[in-house]
Structure formats: structure tokens, C-alpha cells
Amino acid sequence: MDKKLAVYICTGCGIGDALDIDQLSGVATDDFKVPICKTHENLCSKEGAELIKGDIANEGANGIVIAACSPRVMYDVFSFDNVLMERVNLREQVVWVQPAGEEDTQMMAEDYMRMGLTKMKAMAPSVPFQPEQEMSRDILVVGGGVTGLTASLEAAKAGYNVVLVEKQDQLGGFQKNVAMRVSYPYKDLQKNDLDQLIEAVRKEEKIKVYTGAKVESLEGGPCVFKATIKENGSSADHNIGAVVQAAGWQPYDPGKLDPKLGYGASPNVVTNVQFEEIAKSGKITKPSDGGFVKSVAFLQCAGQRDRKHLPYCSSVCCFTALKQAIEVKRQDPKANAYVVYKEMRTPGQGEDFYRKAQEAGVIFIRSQDPEVALRGEELTVQAYDELLGDTVVLGSLDMVVLATGMVPTTALGEDLKAKLEQEQKKEGEPEVELLRPDYMYASDVLNLKYRQGPELPALTYGFPDSHFICFPYESRRTGIYPAGPVRRPMGVASSSEDAAGAVMKAIQCIELTSKGQAVHPRVGDETYPEFFMQRCTQCKRCTEECPFGAINEDEKGNPLPQTTRCRRCGVCMGACPERIISFKNYSVGMVGDMIKSINVPDEYDEKPRILLLACENDAYPALDMIGLRRMNYNAWVRVLSVRCLGSLNLIWIADTLSKGIDGVMLLGCKHGDNYQCHFIKGSELADIRLSKVKETLDRLVLESDRVRFDTVSITDYDKLPALLDAFAARLEEVGPNPYKGF
């Protein structure tokens, strides 16, 4: 494509007052020989947009550079078909953060203009990715409990075909064993309406149900998944668009509990799950002799919120205990029901249900470590009640019910992380810090044919989730969305909601992928990583480091990118030592050229330069935020937005420093267990890569203080100016970069 560049400088929003626009235009017209360069006092107005459209139509302009506000705003106005576009952020990151009319402000604007034009020159038009196979729009739902059933129905209602796979012989999941239900609006016990839900799924033509079945293997990626489903010895293949993983949970093994809780000491000490089975039969009776119960103690947190067992709250067991206690009271209002709890937790609007139990006469005891004891024949619980400040004894109990918690199905099976770490150890001390393997268990749910392991990577406790606050339902495997208690402990009401949410995600994924576009967080991005395979050394860095497991590997170690799984983070691009992975509008060379286009005044001008590589997800918006608040920051800074710090290629550091720029700051998201990095591991990888930067610096005989890594979240914007000043001050101490002027 022959590129005809056109630059549009907006003079509104204070830009025209703060800058010498003629001189700025000169950068485009003289330095870069751009044929069209126009200014407008209100570029985002209808007339402004028309101006650009006119040039596209009449002048054949196809490389549009808009020097105006942040690319994070007005993207709907500045949206033109079939052209390349780049935005130069003169407003939020120049005139709103620098004093008007100053020489340094002008220099900053001109540098950004150069960087934008350099990028535009290097950009190539992207062609949306289209796989060779036909793309499927069907949704696979794994797990036939309340979540899976609801998800299937929701998907069918939205017009998608569904393949529903349930491991057990019947649909229904855990709720099959439940007599009465606690759910929204939490005023009273409810009938379990599971049968209606199953009936509805059975009747729905769009849903193909497999029971007593499992997913034997799942390969491919969004819209090109191939699922092999095994049912009664025979297997069937399905082409799948996206997957909802609703594999549910298992109760914690009561055998592992502290003997103090008395499990096994008497047949009348049961778990909440066992109690449910008893209640399902219609009468609540003593397991030992079948007699009606007159006195029952419910012990909460049997293992939950205990480092030795399940460190997290299971969220439903308090409800369950309240429900079961009410059931005891219903059967016989004279019966005694005690609930011994650490903290009573009835999230959401559940408080009313607690009142309901109070109303029914349930006695609540707050105690951190109750003890079950058999005194001769008598079953008792002894507990220090914190609200009384004394120990009390519950005597003559017919039954003690232990509230065991939820273990996600994904936390069952062999610990693959431990296995990997074992192998790493065997290979000996690594020279450099290694990326920690993901939490993953061989739970036999999805059996992915992925290079990075067969199941969804998880968080610490085995719950799969990529980012629990910002993006529920996302997982680190594109197109696979966990929902229900497998994602986090939750009850029926939340599970149903979750199912709908996950289906929504699956549908988005199918729709975007079929257009060759990326899903969250770079929704709509049509570029994708392209590998120049001739120069690949089979080092496997990309296949190992891709946070989304999007690259498979052949036996020789050649990367096999599965583009529909790709989130376009660029981590592989940063990883590749051969620099052979690039996007049409983002590549190692392109960013390098942008860095090199920055004008570095020589030492005697006393105008140091700092390159700020800012992650586009939080750091860049935080910088915009400083502008929105009209705060100020250091005038030596030049911001370069990157897709993710994980796309950082070390050559950029060398490019920067050898150019004479005094320092580089990397600004990314928080990483670690409570990460906020939008690409999960990007910022962690950047940090690890930086540990190797010393080598580069040594080669250039430069101080390591010239490179600095920091993490921020968008809300930290107000701390950034001070952070930048501190870095500038440090650089001042270190002295100017000796490469200036080379």
C-alpha cells in the first residue's frame, strides 16, 4: 500500500494557546515531508471530522495522524475506515501538564509528533485473522449443575447451539441432593426447583446433552475448538466456538478435619452434606438409631478460613446451617438448634435469613474453637462464647453437624505446579530468575491439548480466574469462561447470575473471533502476532511465556501460534530473543525507531531526557489522569505507550541509552498473587527480564540506576509526579548520559 500521510493538529482545548503550532506543523511538513498538514480549532467537531474525511476521499490520504487529545477519548469521532491511524496526545500529556508557551513544552510536543509520525511510517495495514477451518459458533458447557444448566438455557435463548456435558448419570449437580433451598430474596426456605430447570434443558432443541460423559480432549481455540466427548465408551467430536466451564465443587474431606470437631467419634457427628441427605428423606433423624432429633448443634467453618485446611470462606455454609437449623425447628418447634460460628456470614441480602433463624428460636454461639466431646453416651459441644466471655456447654445433643466447605473441582487431581517446580529443581539452579509456574491441577475437566497444561490455570486456592476484580469470568485460556462455584464459592442465586455472565462472555468471544478481532482487554484489535519463522531458533521462550497459553509447539520446538486464543498482549514479542514476532502496528523495530526519533539535546543544554515506557492499561491512563487534574510533571519525560510491559524487549533499553537519553522508567501493573496486570504475567516478566539488563548496561558502561521499574494502578496517578521527580533527581546525581551527541 502506498502511504499518503496526513497530519491534523487540533488547536482547541488550550493546545493552540500553549504551543507554537506553525513550528509543530513544520516537524511534519519539513522533517517528515508529510504532504497534508492541517489545523483546526475544534477537530472533534463535525466539521473537523468532515475535514479529515474529505482528505481521505479526495486527496487519497490513508495514513492519518491526529495530534489532539488522548487516544483514550474521542475514539468514536476519529474512526475512519480503511486507513491507518495514529493519535498524538498533545492535550492530556503535553499542554495540560506543562506550562503554556515554554520552550520545554514545545519540545515535548514536537517529540511526540516525531514519535507518532515515525510509528505511522512503519505501520502496515492489518488483515483480520481468519483460520483455515470453518469457524464454529456453538457453545460447550462443561458441568450440568445449576450453573451449567442455566448457562445452557441462556445460550440457547440467545440463539446458540449448546453441547452440555455432565459427568454424572443425571443432570442436576450438587443441588440434586438438596431438600430445601436458600436463595434470593432470602426470606424463607424455598422449594428446590431443580427439576423444572432440568426439564427446560431437556426440552430445548438447541441443547445436546451428554450425561455420564466427559470432555476427553479439547484442542484448537475460540471458534476452532475441537471437543472430543466420551459417553459410555463411545466418543463424539464437536466443533466449538467457546466454552463455559461450570464443573462445580466438592465438599472438603471431613476425615482431614481436626479431631476436636469429633468427625468419626460418633455416627451422630455428620457433615452438612450428610445432613442434607438425611433431610432429603423427609424426616430428620439420628444416624445412630433413627430417632427424631431433639437437639442439634451446627458447627461452622469446619476447616474453612483455616490455613491448614481451606484458607477461604466458602460463602454458603452459614446459609446452609441457618437453613438446616430452621428445618430442625420446623420439624419440631420444641427441638433445640444451636449454631456455633466464628463469624456469621450471610453475604448479599442474606441478613434477612439470619433474622429468620433468630425468629425461629435458633441459638447462636460465637466461638473460635468449639470442641465436640462424648461424655459417656452424651454428645456435647464445649465452646468459649466470645459474646458471653465464658465457656458454655451444649449438652444432650442428638446430632452435631459440621459445616464443611467448598473445594473447586479445579483444585482436585495431581498438583501440576508442584510437579513442574520439581522438574525445574532437577535441572539445577537457573542462571536467571524463572517465571513461577501457574497453579494447576490435573482435574480431568477440560483435558486441553495445550502446551501449557491440560486445565485452567488457577489462583492460590485452585479457583481459575484471571482477574477477580476487573474481569470476572475471564480465565487465562481465551474462550473458556469459568462460572459458578468453580470460580469462587457461591450459592444458587449467584451461580445462576454467573452462568448468564459467562455465556455473555462466550458469545462476545465467538462474535469477535469470527470477525478476526481480539477479545478483552484489547477488544476489537485486528492485529495479531506474526512469526518470521525462518529465523526462529526454537528457544521456546514464546511458548513458555505467553500468559494465555496461546502458542503450541511441535516436537522440534517450533512455535505453533493459535491465533484465536491470542489476546494481543505482545508478551511473545518481548520474549523472543530473535525479535521475529511482530504486529502490523507494533513491533520491536517500530518502537526502537520511535525511541530514536526523540530529539536529545546535548549535555550543555542541560535538558536531560527520560523515557517512560507506560503500560496502556493502567499507567498510561494514570498519566492522562494527571492531565485531567491539571497537575504538573517533569518536563524531561517522554511517554511511550506499550501494550503491556511484558512486551518489553531489552533491545529498547539499549536503544534508549545509546541514544543518549538519560534514563528509562518502566511503569506497569502490580504483579504477584494479587496481581492487577491485565495480561496477568506481563509486568512480572518485564521485571524478570530487567534482572538481565545489567548485562546490557555493563556493556555500555552505564549505571544501573538509569533503569527503574515501578508498578502503579490508575488511582495512584497523584503519586506519579513525585515519582518522576525523584527519578529525575537520581539521574541528575548520576550525571548526563555520556552517549549524548553520538
Partner 1 sequence: MSNRVDPNLVSDLEAFGLKDAHKCYNCGNCTAICPLATPENPFPRKMVRYIQLGQKEKILRSPEPWLCYYCGDCSTHCPRGADPGETMMVTRRYLTSLYDWTGFSRKFYTSERFEIMAISVVALLVGMALLIFNTGNPNWEEAAINSLWPAEKIEIADLVMASVLSFLLLSNVFRCFRFIMGDLSFKIPLRLYASEFKELILHTITQKRFSKCSDGMQWFVHLMIMTGYASIFLLVVVFIRWFQRDLPEYPLSHPIRLLGYYATFAIMYGTTYAIIGRIKKKKPVYKNSHSTDWMFLILLQLTTLTGIFIHFARLLNWPATTYFLYVVHLMIAVPMLVLEVPFAKWAHLAYRPVVIYLLRVREKFEQEKPPPAVDTAGVEREGTSQGST
Binding residues for ligand SF4, per CB under 6 A? 529, 531, 536-542, 546, 548, 550-551, 559, 561, 566-572, 575-576, 578, 580-581
Contact between 395 and partner 1 per CB under 8 A:
yes
Q: Could you identify the residue written with the cell 501493573?
A: 669
Pick the piece of the chain touching partner 1 (CB under 8 A) from 14-22, 161-169, 386-394, 429-437: 386-394
Candidates 268, 300, 336, 409: give the one binding partner 1 (CB under 8 A). 336
Q: What is the nearest approach in angstroms of ligand SF4 to the Cβ of residue 569?
A: 4
* Alpha-carbon separation of residue 125 from 77, 80, 496, 591, 616 (angstroms): 20, 13, 43, 17, 21
The three cell numbers of residue 740 are 549524548
Q: 387 touches which of partner 1, ligand SF4, none (CB within 5 to 8 A by kind)?
A: partner 1
Q: In this complex, which beta carbon is closest to partner 1, that of residue 387 or of residue 469?
A: 387
Stretch that binds partner 1, among 213-221, 249-257, 354-362, 564-572 (CB under 8 A): 354-362
CB of 311 vs partner 1, minimal distance in Å:
26
DSSP 86: E
Strand order in the sheet with 707-711: 637-642, 610-615, 663-668, 707-711
Give the distance from CA 168 to its chain's centroid: 30
Closer to partner 1 by Cβ: residue 332 or 414:
332
| Cα–Cα distance measured from residue 76 to residue 682, given in angstroms and rounded to the nearest whole number | 29
* Cell numbers placing 277: 441427605
Q: How many CB atoms lie within 10 A of CB 433?
A: 12
Quick one: what does residue 575 bind among partner 1, ligand SF4, none, with the CB cut-off 5 to 8 Å set by partner type? ligand SF4
Q: Looking at 61, 142, 326, 394, which residue binds partner 1 (CB under 8 A)? A: 394
Q: Which does 677 bind (CB under 5 to 8 A by kind): ligand SF4, partner 1, none?
A: none
- Smallest gap, in angstroms, from Cβ of residue 291 to partner 1? 18
Is 690:705 a contact under the CB 8 Å cutoff?
A: no
With cell 475471564, the residue in question is 474
Q: Per CB under 8 A, which of residues 282..301 are in contact with partner 1?
A: 295
395 binds, among ligand SF4, partner 1, none (CB under 5 to 8 A by kind): partner 1
Q: Which does 391 bind (CB under 5 to 8 A by kind): partner 1, ligand SF4, none?
A: partner 1
619 touches partner 1 by CB under 8 A: no
The grid coordinates of residue 331 equal: 420439624
Q: Which CB atom, from 339 or from 571, has the smaller least distance to ligand SF4?
A: 571
Q: Does 389 bind partner 1 (CB under 8 A)?
A: yes
DSSP three-state, residue 492: helix
**CA–CA distance, 529 with 612 (Å, rounded to integer):** 24
Nearer to partner 1 by C-beta: 290 or 333? 333
Nearest distance, CB of residue 396 and partner 1, angstroms: 9
Q: Which does 569 bind (CB under 5 to 8 A by kind): partner 1, ligand SF4, none?
A: ligand SF4
Exposure string over 694-730, b if 16+ CB within 10 A, otherwise e: eebbeebebeeebbbbbbbebebbeebbebbeebbee
As a whole number of angstroms, the distance between CA 672 and CA 436 comes to 10
User: 700 — alpha (psi -120 to 50), left (phi > 0) or beta?
Assistant: alpha
Q: Are 542 and 559 in contact (CB under 8 A)?
A: yes
Is 355 an interacting residue with respect to partner 1 (CB under 8 A)? Answer: yes
359 binds, among partner 1, ligand SF4, none (CB under 5 to 8 A by kind): partner 1
Please, are residues 70 and 89 in contact by the beta-carbon 8 Å criterion?
A: yes
In the complex, minimum distance from the CB of residue 386 to partner 1, in angstroms, rounded to a whole number:
8
Residues 552-571, one symbol each (x = binds partner 1 by CB under 8 A, - = not), give: --------------------
Q: Tell me which of 100, 393, 418, 523 binds partner 1, using CB under 8 A.
A: 393
Q: Which stretch binds partner 1 (CB under 8 A): 139-147, 160-168, 353-361, 451-459?
A: 353-361
Residue in 320, 287, 301 with CA at minimum distance from that of residue 258: 301
The cell numbers describing 544, all together, are 513458555
Q: Which residues of 3-32 are buried (b: 16+ CB within 10 A; e: fewer)?
A: ebbbbbbbbbbebbebbebeebbebbeeeb
Q: Contacting partner 1 (CB under 8 A), which of 391, 422, 674, 704? A: 391
In the complex, minimum distance from the CB of residue 387 to ligand SF4, in angstroms, rounded to a whole number: 9
- Least distance (Å) between residue 372 CB and partner 1: 15
Q: How far is the CB of 88 from partner 1 (least distance, A)?
A: 57
Cα–Cα distance, 544 to 487 (Å, whole number): 25
Our CB check for ligand SF4 shows the closer of 151 and 569 to be 569
- Length of the chain counted residue by residue: 742
Q: Which residues are near partner 1 by CB under 8 A?
A: 295, 336, 338, 355, 358-359, 361, 363-366, 385, 387-395
